Amino acid sequence: MREIVLDTETTGFEPSEGHRIVEIGAVELYNHMPTGKVYHQYINPERMMPKEAFEVHGLGDDFLRPQPKFAAIAQAFLDFIGPDSKLVIHNAAFDMKFLNAELGWAGKPLIGNDRALDTLLIARRKFPGSPASLDALCRRFGVDNSGREKHGALLDSEILAEVYLELIGGRQPDFGLAPVGQQSGSGGGTTEVWRPRPRPTPLPARLTEAESTAHQSFVDKLGEKSIWKRYS
């Protein structure tokens, strides 16, 4: 199962008021484990960066002006998230409205809201009445967020990936127990899972000769209908 943990940074709160995305960060998970594949892109918002947004993100006009516009990176972003991977987002409604606004302006297909998995809602259901911000969840789960002096999309995605795995019960890979050919790879195909192989040299028996003799004598007394006789 492929999931994309995703975060955006923006110039403000509402795309309907002309605010735009300035940064996207995303981390790929496969069967709830990070694969090492990430997507990170700064974006020219085609407008001045408000002072309050600069204070939150630390991204100024001089830095953003030479960055590509969203329309230029839209397809690469869509290619990374793929057509059906779940998008793990904290406060998903916010990021989704900005992503779909930008995609619409770029003439690209929109992302269905049903693809978003909101970790804010998961946290509120799991810990009702408790703070559910990303920083609060980091404190709850002991996730290191010491580098989060400014909001950065890629760093926040990496932190959220750790928080998400804790929210769903910690990292629990399937240890290769799924049937061969039934695991989907990140490219949508199937991959052969790991299987234990027989030892090239069997381990020597640890029973003594006396113990083996005593066990055989015990089995003989159980008669021909004993399970040891039927399946030996």
The catalytic residues are 151
Distance CA 217, CA 85 (A): 60
Distance CA 60, CA 110 (A): 28
If you count DSSP H runs as helices and E runs as strands, how many of each does the chain have, helices first? 9, 7
The CA–CA distances, whole Å, from 50 to 16, 47, 54, 91, 170 equal 16, 9, 6, 22, 39
Q: With beta carbons less than 8 A apart as the criterion, state whether 99 and 113 touch.
A: no
Closest among 6, 36, 25 to 186, alpha carbons compared: 36
Question: b or e along 52-72 (b: 16 or more beta carbons within 10 Å of the residue's beta carbon)?
Answer: ebbeebebeeeebeebeebee
Closest among 148, 161, 134, 121 to 26, alpha carbons compared: 161
Work out whether the CA dihedral 219, 224, 225, 227 comes out positive or negative.
positive
